[in-house]
Each structure stands twice: as C-alpha cells, then as structure tokens.
C-alpha cells in the first residue's frame, strides 16, 4: 500500500512541476504575485516528491521486499545504514535520488532568492520542465515502485558487496548534488536569454549556487577516486574510465564557468563564454547520465538496461541542448560587449583559460566517442586509454598553470605592469627552478615531462606563498579563496608528477612463513586465517613488513566471499604515511601452495586527494562568504 502512495505522490509532483512550467511561460513574469504563486506550486511539488522519497526510504528500512527494486538490492541482514544506501546502488533508485536532488536545488533557489528577481519565475519553470522530463523517464522506463506480487520474496538479493562501504554511501549523492546543482545556472542563463534584457546581471545571483555545486562535484569525484583506490583495489587515483571521464567533463566546464562567471558579473565581459559554459556544464551532466545509463559503453559503473532508456535520455538531452543553443544563437548579438578585452588583463587570462579547458573537454569527449564511432564503422571494439589522455592533459595543464602564474599579477581591465611586480615573480621563477633542480639531482629524475610539471607546480605554490606573505606583512589585499584553490592546483600537479615518477608495483609469489624483499622492505608472510562473518567468509593474510629504517608493521589483506551473491572481493591493506602508501592485495593461491601478492608503493597519493579537498574547501568558504554578502 505504502509503495502505491509513494508512486502516486511522485506522479502528483510531476503534475505540479508541469503546472509550474505552464504558469511561468504563459503568465507575465513582471507580476510579483505570479512569481509567488509559481514558487509556491513548485515548492508543493517538491514537498510531495520528497515525501514520496522518504516513504521509499522507510520501505527500504522496513525490508519491504514486495518492492522489486528493494528486493533486488537490499537484504534483511544489512545494517540500516546500507539498507538506505542500497537505494542508490543501481539504476532506478539512483535516478530517483538524482531527481530529488535536482528538485531540491530548485526548492532552495525558490526559497532563498527574492521574488523581485525578474528571472526567478522563468528559471523555476525551466527547472520544472527538466524535472518533468526526468520524472517521466523514471516512471515510464525505470519505475522504482514496481512490485513483485502476489508473493513477495522472503529476503532480498543483497547489495553488491563492493558497495558496502561508507565512501560509496556518500560518493554518489555528493556527485549527483554536483551534477544537478548546475541546473540553477543553466535555468537562469536560459531565462536571461529568453528575457532579452541585457541589463539584467544574472551572473551575480547564480554565483553562490554554481560555486556550491562545483564544491559538491569536486568532492564527489575525489571520493569516487578514493573509493576505487582502497575498496575496489584499483591501486591508483585515476584510470580514465569512461564514467570517470563523464564526471570530469562537467567538472572542467564548471571550473571554466565559475572563472568566467566572476568576470561577467564584474564587467559584463566574456558573457558569450559564460552563457555557453553554463549550457555546457548542464548538457555535459545530462550527457554523462546518458552514457552511464544507456549501456553504450562498458565500464564498472554501467547499469544493465534496456534500449528505451538510452533513447529516452538521448532524445530528452538532445531537445534540451539544441533548444538552449538555438536561443543562445538567436540572442548572440545581445551578448557581445562593446568593450574590448584589454590584453594581459585578468579577463584575457581567464579567456585563455576557457580556451584551454574547452580543448580538454573536447579531447575527453573525443576519447569517449572515438571507440563508438570506430565500432559503428568497423564493428570492432577498441578502447582509448591513458596514453591518449596523458598526451593531451599534461601539456595543456602545464600551459594553463603557466598562464595562471602570469595572471596573478594582472589587473582587471588593465594591462600588465611588469615593474611593480618584478621581484616576487622573478624570485619564484628562480626559487622553483632551484627546487626542481635539487629534487632532480637528489632523486635522479630525468623524465623531462615530470621535471617540467614539477617546475610549474612549484612555481604556482611559491608565487602564492609570496602573495600570502604580502597579504600578512604588507597588508596587500588578495583573494584568499583564489589563493587556496590555486595552491591546491599547484599541489595537485606536484603530487601527480611525483606519484607517476616514484610509484612502483610488483607481484610476488610467497609461501606461508616465507619472505621476500621489495624496495628495501622485507616482507614476511606470517599468518593465514579463515574468518567466518555474518554475510561472508574471509581469508585474511598477515604480512609483517620491516622497512629499511627498522620500523615494523603488519598488513592484513583479505579475500572475501559473500554468501548471497557468491561474489569474491579483495580487501586491500594499506600502510599510509604522509609520503607514501604501501598497498598490498592478495591474489590467487597457486598449486604449490604459494600466494600471488601484489605490492605497490604509491607515493604522494594522499596529496592528490588533499589537493582536491583544498580546492573544494576554498570553494565552500567562498560560497559562505557570498552567502553573508547577500
């Protein structure tokens, strides 16, 4: 019964969202009372949808296995925490959550933004029609409310064991909040174009929303990377998996967008870029949803599915994107500014940044589509891997970082004055060169790309250290959010370079009580025990590792076999220090009784995530400061 109520409420909310859309497009947006009415209808639609979702959460907690989706993905033995997270462990439920989040952003927007905002009514209408599109997709092709009647199974099939992990419980929701958060910017941009009054500064009101969404996207991607590292046992932070790429593209577009946004809201320059990027961010999020949920590519993330889903998402995204671009193209004359961008001003550097990010997005898109085009033409499956992406991302990122370095001293709408900023710039160039040479000699690094990357990374960090120094001791104002986010970027470049230079791995065959040495570490296979747990059996190996400095520690990787699905998972054991991770996974047992053990030394890998967190932190502090300013 409850499931039917939840189902009905979600249908009802679809109706209310559609009404919101109709009202916002057919009534004058100048009347504040109409805007109030539209906001109210929207909010009621959202509250119904939220109630429906909360009932669904209750059904999952209550082990209601007459609901097909819950029976397929949950189990009565699961802790309550995982009963809830099992909702977004597969297609239908995760789509449901996606939509709830989409509407939540709209709700917060309708709550916090003043009725005086002329773009508000139409923006809510656009958000509503997107919600209607997705809700119809959910209800027509991927209904999470489907039941198994008349007899419900006694127990559910259990959540996939690799998903029984706290990082996974928060990784998809965070990522979704990021993806759909850009709906506010998108809706405002389209609403601005429809309105056609170029004196409206839509860029100001969407800044806080876009930066918050960007923070969620950044954290979501970082969490996914961390989860793949320690739970899936992939042993690295990035694999250019197609689904990682479809998350990276909106992130790149969003990063370019929030930079461009600050220019447009200050000086109405780069407006074409800003609007185009806002359309791009949201379109790429939709494209990501299509790629993941159509089964068009093979990936760890792809859901088993039917052909209708892909077709629906493709058509919906296609209509939305092409309509937006049509309006954009129609209103293009409105967006051109009679002011020119001054060479070597901050705006000029940001537009260069936009071009570089555009190139990266285009290349990533090519990497995803090329195998599809090839398959279509030659009926053969190929894959585009790390070498392609590295060849493009490494030089482009270095180039972007160098432009960033020069942009630090640039001014808004004024050209570069090299005299004033002479010393910290030259000093950073020299200091980072010295550090790079020192590191190269001490650690015998000869790869040119690594050295160049290290150099640019150090350049940015050192330059910003000077900025911080001036900030505190010469009270020269500078933007603290920009400083910490960009130090994060410098740190990211340095840690990725060091990680790829120093990390190494080896697979060894080792018998119980045997020992081996790798990278000066003596590894003793001390013990092997069989552990019986409530939902799985586990083989746990214990290795005593003696490092060259005489420190000793124990690492216990496991192999688990889960009862309900018979799935075997590998639990890694990691000894983490600030500089490096020693990472052990247990492979198969050979006929002679020895075990294959994979040992990795991952250098600076924690710094990769730390850099991402630093960027996200800077973003969230900025969002808070904008909130206070409003």
Partner 1 sequence: MITFFRFLIFVVPISLFSFLYFFINDNDYYPGADLRVSDMPTFELTTLYDGSKINNLDLKGSFLINVWASWCITCRIEHGFLVNLSSKNIPIVGLNYKDEKIDAVEWLNKYEDPYGLIIHDFSGSLALDMGVTGAPETFLIKDGKIIAHFSGEVNKRVWGDVFIPVIKKEKVEWNDQI
**Which CB sits closer to partner 1, 245 or 453?**
245
CB of 369 to partner 1, least distance (A): 8
Q: Does 202 bind partner 1 (CB under 8 A)?
A: no
Q: In the complex, what is the shortest distance from the CB of residue 372 to partner 1, in angstroms, rounded to a whole number?
A: 6
Q: Is 369 a binder of partner 1 (CB under 8 A)?
A: yes
Does position 245 bind partner 1 by CB under 8 A?
no
Measure the CA–CA gap between 184 and 282, rounded to whole angstroms. 9
Contact letters for partner 1, residues 467-506 (x by CB under 8 A): ----------------------------------------
Residue 87 DSSP label: G
Nearer residue to partner 1 within complex by CB, 147 or 456: 147
**How far is 178 from 470, CA to CA, in rounded Å?**
35
Task: Give 487: exposed, middle or buried? Use CB within 10 Å, 0-12, 13-18, 19+.
Answer: buried
When asked if residue 232 is in the footprint of partner 1 (CB under 8 A), the reply is no
Rounded to whole angstroms, what are the CA distances from 367 to 26, 239, 259, 371, 388?
A: 43, 13, 25, 7, 8
By CB under 8 A, name the one of 179, 209, 227, 290 that touches partner 1.
Answer: 290
Report if residue 372 touches partner 1, rule: CB under 8 A: yes
DSSP string covering 132-156: HHHHHHHHHHS-TT-B--SS--SS-
Quote the least distance from Cβ 408 to partner 1, whole Å.
31
Cα–Cα distances in Å, from 604 out to 297, 352, 492, 493, 580? Answer: 32, 30, 10, 11, 6
Q: What angle do CA 497, 499, 500 make, to 5 degrees?
A: 70
Between 463 and 560, name the residue whose CB sits nearer to partner 1.
560
- Binding-residue pattern over the window 296 to 335 for partner 1, x denoting contact by CB under 8 A: x-------xxxx-xxx--xx-xx--xx--xx-xx--xx--
C-beta contacts of 379-388 below 8 A and 24+ residues apart: 384/240, 385/240, 386/239, 386/240
Which position among 32, 50, 84, 157 is part of the footprint of partner 1 (CB under 8 A)? Answer: 157
Please list, in sequence order, all residues whose beta carbon lies within 8 angstroms of the beta carbon of residue 110, skipping any fewer than 6 positions away: 39, 42, 43, 120, 124
Q: Which is nearer to partner 1, 148 or 355 (CB)?
A: 148
Q: Give the closest residue to 64 by CA, choosing from 131, 2, 115, 117.
A: 2
**Which of these ranges, 105-113, 125-133, 294-302, 412-420, lies near partner 1 under the rule CB under 8 A?**
294-302
Binder of partner 1 out of 115, 139, 200, 295 (CB under 8 A): 295
Residue closer to partner 1, measured from CB, 206 or 276:
276
Is residue 505 helix, strand or coil?
Answer: strand
In this structure, what are the phi and psi dihedrals at residue 500, rounded to the nearest 5 degrees? -75, -25
| Shorter beta-carbon distance to partner 1: residue 280 or 400 | 280
Q: DSSP of 535-581, one letter per residue?
A: SEEEEEEEEEEE-TTS-EEEE--EEEEETTT--EEEE-EEEE-SSEE
Does residue 158 belong to the site contacting partner 1 (CB under 8 A)?
Answer: yes
Identified binder of partner 1 from the candidate list 205, 245, 285, 294, rule CB under 8 A: 294
The binder of partner 1 chosen from 3, 41, 59, 68 (CB under 8 A): 68
In the 8-state DSSP scheme, what is residue 342?
Answer: P
Residues pairing with 414 in the sheet:
411
Q: How many residues bind partner 1 (CB under 8 A)?
A: 44
Q: Under a CB-based contact definition with an 8 Å cutoff, are residues 187 and 20 in contact?
A: no
* Shortest separation between residue 201's beta carbon and partner 1, angstroms: 23
Helix, coil or strand: residue 525: strand
Asked whether position 355 contacts partner 1 by CB under 8 A, the answer is no
Neighbouring-strand partners of residue 570: 559
CA dihedral sign, ordered 603, 605, 610, 615: positive
Nearer to partner 1 (CB atom), residue 310 or residue 395? 310
Contact between 341 and partner 1 per CB under 8 A: no
Least distance to partner 1 from the beta carbon of 567, Å? 8
Per CB under 8 A, residues contacting partner 1 are: 68, 71-72, 148, 153, 156-158, 276, 283, 290, 294-296, 304-307, 309-311, 314-315, 317-318, 321-322, 325-326, 328-329, 332-333, 336, 369, 372-373, 376, 379, 563-567
């Amino acid at each position: 019964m409850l499931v039917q109520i939840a189902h009905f409420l979600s249908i009802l909310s679809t109706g209310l969202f559609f009404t919101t859309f109709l009202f916002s497009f057919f009534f004058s947006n100048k009347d504040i009372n109409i805007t109030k009415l539209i906001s109210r209808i929207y909010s009621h639609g959202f509250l119904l949808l939220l109630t429906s979702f909360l009932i669904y959460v209750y059904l999952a907690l209550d082990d209601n296995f007459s609901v097909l989706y819950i029976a397929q993905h949950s189990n009565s033995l699961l802790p309550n925490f995982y009963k809830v997270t099992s909702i977004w462990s597969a297609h239908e439920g995760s789509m449901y959550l996606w939509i709830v989040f989409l509407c939540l952003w709209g709700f917060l927007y309708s709550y916090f933004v003043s009725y005086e905002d002329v773009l508000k009514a139409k923006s809510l209408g656009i958000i509503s029609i997107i919600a209607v599109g997705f809700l119809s997709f959910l209800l027509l092709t991927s209904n999470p409310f489907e039941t198994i009647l008349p007899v419900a199974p006694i127990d559910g099939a259990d959540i996939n064991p690799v998903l029984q992990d706290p990082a996974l419980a928060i990784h998809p929701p965070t990522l979704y909040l990021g993806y759909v958060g850009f709906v506010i910017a998108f809706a405002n941009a389209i609403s601005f174009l429809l309105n056609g009054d170029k004196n409206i500064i839509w860029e100001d009101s969407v800044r806080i929303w876009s930066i918050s969404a960007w923070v969620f996207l950044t954290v979501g991607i970082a969490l996914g990377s961390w989860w793949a590292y320690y739970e899936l046992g992939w042993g690295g932070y990035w694999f250019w998996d197609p689904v990682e790429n479809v998350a990276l593209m909106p992130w790149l577009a969003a990063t370019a967008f929030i930079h461009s946004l600050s220019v447009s809201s200050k000086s109405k320059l780069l407006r074409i870029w800003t609007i185009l990027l806002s359309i791009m961010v949201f379109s790429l999020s939709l494209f990501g949803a299509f790629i993941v949920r159509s089964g068009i590519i093979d990936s760890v993330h792809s859901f088993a599915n039917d052909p209708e889903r892909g077709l629906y998402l493709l058509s919906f995204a296609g209509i939305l994107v092409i309509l937006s671009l049509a309006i954009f193209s129609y209103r293009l004359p409105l967006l051109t500014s009679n002011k020119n961008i001054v060479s070597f001003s901050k705006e000029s550097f940001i537009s260069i940044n936009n071009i570089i990010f555009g190139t990266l997005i285009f290349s990533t898109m090519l990497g995803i589509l090329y195998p599809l085009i090839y398959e279509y033409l030659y009926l053969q499956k190929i894959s585009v891997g790390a070498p392609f992406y590295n060849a493009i991302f490494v030089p482009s990122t270095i180039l972007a970082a160098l432009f960033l370095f020069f942009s630090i001293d640039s001014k808004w709408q004024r050209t570069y004055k090299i005299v004033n900023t002479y010393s910290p710039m030259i000093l950073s160039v020299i200091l980072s060169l010295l550090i790079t040479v020192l590191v190269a000699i001490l650690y015998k690094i000869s790869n040119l790309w690594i050295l160049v990357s290290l150099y640019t990374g150090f350049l940015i960090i050192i330059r910003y250290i000077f900025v911080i120094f001036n900030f505190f001791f010469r009270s020269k104002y500078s933007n603290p959010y920009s400083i910490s986010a960009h130090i994060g970027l410098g740190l990211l470049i340095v840690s990725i370079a060091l990680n790829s230079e120093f990390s190494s791995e080896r697979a060894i065959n080792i018998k119980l009580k045997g020992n081996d040495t790798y990278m000066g570490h003596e590894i003793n296979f001390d013990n092997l025990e069989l552990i019986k747990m409530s939902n799985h059996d586990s083989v746990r190996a214990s290795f005593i590792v003696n490092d060259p400095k005489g420190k000793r520690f124990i690492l216990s990787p496991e192999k688990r076999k889960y009862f309900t699905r018979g799935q075997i998972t590998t639990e890694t054991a990691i000894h983490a220090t600030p500089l490096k991770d020693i990472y052990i996974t247990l492979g198969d047992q050979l006929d002679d009784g020895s075990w294959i053990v994979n040992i990795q030394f991952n250098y600076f890998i924690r710094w990769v995530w730390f850099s991402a967190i630093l960027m996200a932190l800077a973003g969230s502090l900025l969002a808070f400061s904008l909130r206070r300013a409003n």
